[in-house]
Amino acid sequence: MSILNSFLNRRAILRRAGALAIAGAALASTSLTPATSLADEARKIAVSFPNASVIGAVITSLDAAKEKGAEMGYSVFVDDPGTDLNKQINTIKTWIQQKVDVIVVNALQPDAFESVAKQAREAGIVWITYGQKIENQDATVGYAQYPDGRQLGEYAGQWVTDTLDGKAKVIILGYEKGVWGQQRGAGIKDGLLDKAPNVEIVAEQDAISPTDGLNVTRSLLQAHPDANVILGVEDPATEGAYKAWIAAGKDPADPTGFIGGMDGTVPALKLLKKGGNVYRASMAIPLVEVGYAIVTTADSILNGEETGDVIVPLELVTEMSPKADEYLAQQGAD
């Protein structure tokens, strides 16, 4: 057992003693503030997640983490820095000063977090990177971004080959500001071109929200009115793309059209459940499973276990698939 793990075991025992004194103290989610005193509170898992408050799938996953945390004696706090990298790092530095037990970070730019992650671990705080991997971390919890994106691209490419003799004009809605977005986008393109090498990618542009997807796709369809395949790294963006498709006067049931995204949001899953429209695929996140994994992985590491990376694969959901119902139920929708 490493020196670090021995230290973490002793620390976990001390923390548990404190937690027993205030059993049942599961707190609501908000970010911690410098004025918050943590000395006498239960074990803390602080989660920094850009756009956590506006992406429904993320909200579902982190709500599951809070629920699991309450069961296991943890308080799970979530901070949404938006896309402000400096704000995210400053909040994490505050958490280090407050000596939370675990910090979980969805890092927009992983390299920018090496130094602050090193500071956290030197302070005895467990560092978990969500969906990415950095040098100074105890584990990754999340997804295999490139392979998951590639699976969507391959499905779309095979559909183009089978349905359109391998020819289509494609719009990619990516997110180059984040490494995860770069990896998903690269996977989508590689998978698409592997199965349908003769497609033409006519445009690539960032879009992550429904509003982005609507506005960006509206402009791109004006420039490329014959584009018939739209693939995105986030379902919220492709939901917006679907609205732009209809607003452009295109047939929502166009047999030559294909829209597909990632994450398995409620609107996307409802379109897939209904079928008979151009929204044909989503890579769905097992949201509850990921939320639980955040807490159980943190708990294992605090108890001195070497978990390694915990990767939860996304699952391809296609039109009329019963999987759409399964994931809708997971999000409390039907």
Q: What is the pLDDT of residue 28?
A: 34
Residue predicted with more confidence, 312 or 298: 298
Instruction: Report pLDDT for 121.
Output: 97
Quick: pLDDT tens for 234-274: 999 999 999 999 999 999 999 999 999 999 999 999 999 99
**Nearest alpha-carbon partner for 257 in 139, 132, 156:** 156
Helices (H), the chain: 3-21, 56-72, 85-98, 114-122, 145-164, 179-195, 210-223, 235-247, 266-274, 287-302, 322-330
State the pLDDT confidence band at 142, using cuts at 50, 70 and 90.
Answer: confident
pLDDT category, 16, cuts 50, 70, 90? very low
| Residue 240 to residues 1, 56, 224, 231, Cα–Cα distance (Å) | 51, 14, 17, 12
For every residue of 77-102, DSSP letters joined together read EEE--TT-HHHHHHHHHHHHHHT-SE
φ, ψ for residue 282, nearest 5 deg: -150, 140
How confident is residue 140, by pLDDT bands cut at 50, 70 and 90?
A: very high
Q: What is the mean pLDDT of residues 79-105?
A: 95
Q: Which amino acid is at 99?
A: K
Considering only residues 159 and 36, tell me which one the structure prediction assigns the higher pLDDT: 159
d(C-alpha 282, C-alpha 258), whole Å: 11
pLDDT of 132 reads 84
What is the distance between the alpha carbons of residues 26 and 19, in angstroms, rounded to a whole number? 10
Spatial separation of the C-alpha atoms in residues 103 and 70, rounded to whole Å: 17
The 10s digit of each residue's pLDDT in 182-224 is 999 999 999 999 999 999 999 999 998 999 999 999 999 999 9
Q: Is residue 12 predicted with pLDDT exceeding 50?
A: no
Helix (H, G, I), strand (E, B) or coil at 219: helix
332 pLDDT band, cuts 50/70/90, is confident
Q: What is the mean pLDDT of residues 68-97?
A: 95
Query: What does the pLDDT read at residue 106?
Result: 92
Does residue 289 surpass a pLDDT of 70? yes
132 against 181, higher pLDDT? 181
CA 202 to chain centre: 27
Q: Read off the pLDDT of residues 163-172 as tens digits, 9 standing for 90 and up.
A: 999 999 999 9
Indicate the Cα dihedral angle 9, 12, 16, 17, nearest 10°: 70
- Residue 57 has a pLDDT of 76
Structure tokens at 237: 């963006």
Kindly state the average pLDDT of the residues 80-98. Answer: 95
Examine the pLDDT at 38 and tell me if it is beyond 70. no
Taking the C-alpha atoms of residue 317 and residue 272, their distance in angstroms, rounded to an integer, is 8
- Domains, the chain, in order of start with CATH, read 43-137 (3.40.50.2300), 145-284 (3.40.50.2300)
Q: Smallest Cα–Cα separation from 62: which of 73, 72, 51?
A: 51
- Output the pLDDT for position 148: 96
* pLDDT, tens digit (0-9, with 9 covering 90-100), for 100-110: 999 999 987 88
Burial 29-58 (b: 16+ CB within 10 A, else e): bebbeeeeebeebbbbbbbbbbbbeebbbb
Residue 37 has what pLDDT? 45
First to last CA, the chain: 48
When pLDDT is cut at 50, 70 and 90, the band that residue 179 belongs to is confident
Confidence grade of residue 53 (pLDDT, cut at 50, 70, 90)? confident
Q: How many CA atoms lie within 13 A of 98 on its CB side?
A: 25
pLDDT band of residue 296 (cuts 50, 70, 90) is very high
- Answer whether 330's CB lies under 8 Å from 291's CB: no
* Predicted local distance difference test score (pLDDT) of residue 22: 31
The answer, yes or no, to whether residue 7 has pLDDT greater than 90, is no
Task: Please report the pLDDT score of residue 41 as a whole number.
Answer: 60
